[in-house]
Amino acid sequence: MDTVTQRVEPVATGPKTFDAERARADFPLLSRSMRGKSLVYLDNAATSQKPRHVIDAIHRYYETLNANVHRGVYQLSEEATSAYEWGRAMTARYLNAPSPAEIVFVRGATEAVNLVAATFGRQRVGPGDEVLVSAMEHHSNIVPWQMLCDERGAKLRVIPMNERGELVLDRLPDLLTPRTRIVAVVHVSNSLGTVNPVREIIREAHARDIPVVIDGAQAAPHGPVDVQALDCDFYAVSGHKMFGPTGIGVLFGKRALLDEMPPYQGGGEMIRSVTFEKTLYAPLPMKFEAGTPNIEGAVGLGAAVDYLRQLDWEAVARHEADLLAYATEAVSDIPGLHIVGTAARKTPVVSFTLEGAHPHDIGTVLDQEGVAVRTGHHCTQPVMDFFGIPATARASMAFYNTRDDVDRLVAGLHRVREVFPR
Ligand code: PMP
């Protein structure tokens, strides 16, 4: 059972509670006020807030370490390189990657999937082949595969989901055909909160020698990931969703596959030697990191992981499960509210519609109350089409959210109900 799946199981024992109030104190932005009220930040699936540990690390980097990496022979450049590589080593540990060489820094989950589609995908997918995704993918795990399929004359196929927003895995054996070249599935859905049984999917795919790409953008913020236990071939995360900076993310790839893949982009840093006749590429992971990288991003992500590692994740799991249960029950009392996504295994995400009020109106009224939620299709238009709705309002919580935040959301929704009677 994978880490995220494991942690949303009901926990029968374990007295330790997670001190969310104490965690909040580590996040300066959470003490802001908004519209004259204390901010309730419930848009963590879009991006999370940053602990002071991360902000300080970036600050310190520029004050004491800034130089270009991997090139200078002078001490400052060596120190900057160490800081950058520390970020990689920390992330490797968080994902339990066998080696930091299998951790490629990218801009985010989107670039990670594009990298795999443009290199590995082009190697593997030809006319008449198939790429299998799921019905609840974020656009960033659909469009790159669609582009590849269009280019190669291949077909994009889809694992369906049910009304609760769970994948229908009975269909998987039929969908894994002799033409399937790649499976790409989201670990945790951003618009529904569903935790998918990715290990089972990977096992089924591997039984047919089909490699699997996991979009872990929404899983990594809810606990350490074990790519070795999952046995996924690729795993994509975004730093900004896991309490690190924007503009940095990670692609984990199994060494044997990364070794065989052509580079994604050409330029400096990714070469061993260049002549006008021939270029020899650098070893992993540099082969995939052309140009001056996002050094501050790597340092900030390293600091984020350093912060996350000291949390008691079992206690966090109980806290997040409590938040989800509490919020699910509390919003259900609002007349005309329908929760979209009621899977048995969820992260603390409550997506909903309210009869008589457009999700954007819900968001606007909640904003007046100091409550920040996301409204729209959440870059999952096929999910909205499946449920026959244009959009939802989504409250997505992190470990630093509290029952008080949920109470403020519910009070705000009662206000929405007054403004937009059914
Ligand atoms: N996958 C999922 C499930 C996401 O939620 C997101 C961000 N909303 C992405 C991929 C893309 O991440 P980014 O925009 O950071 O590249």
- Percentage with pLDDT > 90 across the chain: 95
Distance CA(40)–CA(253), nearest Å, equals 37
| Phi, then psi, of 70 in degrees rounded to 5 | 65, 5
Residues 121 and 267 in one domain: yes
Q: Is residue 237 part of a domain?
A: yes
Of 48, 138, 248, which is best to mutate to test ligand 1, by the most ligand atoms within 8 angstroms of its C-beta?
138
**CATH number of 130's domain:** 3.40.640.10
Residues 71 and 178 in one domain: yes
Which ligand 1 atom is at minimum distance from the Cα of 109? 16
Beta-carbon count within 10 A of 22 CB: 9
Residues 261 and 375 in one domain: no
E-state strands within 123-227: 130-134, 155-159, 180-186, 212-215
**pLDDT score of 248:** 98
Q: Is residue 226 part of a domain?
A: yes
Give the ranges where 153-288 is alpha helix by DSSP (H). Answer: 172-175, 198-206, 227-230, 255-260
Q: Is residue 12 part of a domain?
A: no
| Phi, then psi, of 343 in degrees rounded to 5 | -60, 155
**pLDDT score of 71:** 79
- Which of 284, 308, 332 is a domain's end point? 308
Handedness of CA 380, 382, 387, 391 (dihedral sign): positive
Residues 144 and 201 in one domain: yes
The yes-or-no verdict on residue 8 having pLDDT over 90 is: no
Taking only Cα atoms into account, the Rg of the chain, rounded to an integer number of angstroms, comes to 22
The yes-or-no verdict on residue 4 having pLDDT over 70 is: no
Residues 266 and 299 in one domain: yes
Q: Is residue 15 part of a domain?
A: no
Q: Is residue 382 part of a domain?
A: yes
Q: Do 359 and 392 form a contact (C-beta atoms < 8 A)?
A: yes
Taking the centre of ligand 1 as the mean of its atom positions, its distance from the CA of residue 338, in whole angstroms, is: 25
- Which of 257, 289, 308 is a domain's end point? 308
Residues 147 and 92 in one domain: yes
Distance CA(50)–CA(27), nearest Å, equals 6
What is the side-by-side order of every strand in the sheet holding 212-215? 103-106, 249-253, 234-238, 212-215, 180-186, 130-134, 155-159
Taking the centre of ligand 1 as the mean of its atom positions, its distance from the CA of residue 58, in whole angstroms, is: 23
Average pLDDT for residues 188-193, to the nearest whole number? Answer: 98
Taking the centre of ligand 1 as the mean of its atom positions, its distance from the CA of residue 251, in whole angstroms, is: 13
The yes-or-no verdict on residue 343 having pLDDT over 80 is: yes
| 232 assigned to active site | no
Which ligand 1 atom is at minimum distance from the Cα of 240? 15
The yes-or-no verdict on residue 5 having pLDDT over 80 is: no
Of 110, 213, 374, which is best to mutate to test ligand 1, by the most ligand atoms within 8 angstroms of its C-beta?
110
**HSE of 108 in the Cβ direction (CA atoms, 13 Å)?**
16
Residues 101 and 159 in one domain: yes
Which ligand 1 atom is at minimum distance from the Cα of 110? 16
Q: Is residue 172 part of a domain?
A: yes
- The DSSP H or E segment spanning 47 is none
Residues 108 and 248 in one domain: yes
- Which of 258, 286, 308 is a domain's end point? 308
Average pLDDT for residues 311-329, to the nearest whole number? Answer: 98
**CATH number of 33's domain:** 3.90.1150.10
User: What is the span of the domain harbouring residue 398?
Assistant: 20-41+312-419
Residue 279 — pLDDT band, cuts 50, 70, 90?
Answer: very high
Residue 3 — pLDDT band, cuts 50, 70, 90?
Answer: very low
Closest-CA residue, ligand 1 atom 5, reads: 190
Average pLDDT of the chain, as a whole number: 95
Residues 258 and 197 in one domain: yes
Taking the centre of ligand 1 as the mean of its atom positions, its distance from the CA of residue 239, in whole angstroms, is: 10
Instruction: Please pick, among 67, 147, 156, 379, the residue that the annotation labels catalytic.
Output: 379
Prediction pTM value = 0.96
The yes-or-no verdict on residue 289 having pLDDT over 80 is: yes
Closest CA to 168 of 146, 200, 138: 200
Distance CA(105)–CA(4), nearest Å, equals 23
Residues 329 and 213 in one domain: no
Q: Is residue 148 part of a domain?
A: yes
The yes-or-no verdict on residue 42 having pLDDT over 90 is: yes
Distance CA(237)–CA(113), nearest Å, equals 10
Residues 269 and 333 in one domain: no
Q: Is residue 50 part of a domain?
A: no
Closest-CA residue, ligand 1 atom 7, reads: 46
**pLDDT score of 45:** 98
Which ligand 1 atom is at minimum distance from the Cα of 108? 16
The binding-site residues of ligand 1, defined as CB within 6 angstroms of any ligand atom, are 45, 108-110, 138, 140-141, 186, 190, 215, 217-218, 238, 379
Taking the centre of ligand 1 as the mean of its atom positions, its distance from the CA of residue 318, in whole angstroms, is: 25
Residues 293 and 340 in one domain: no
Number of domains in the chain: 2
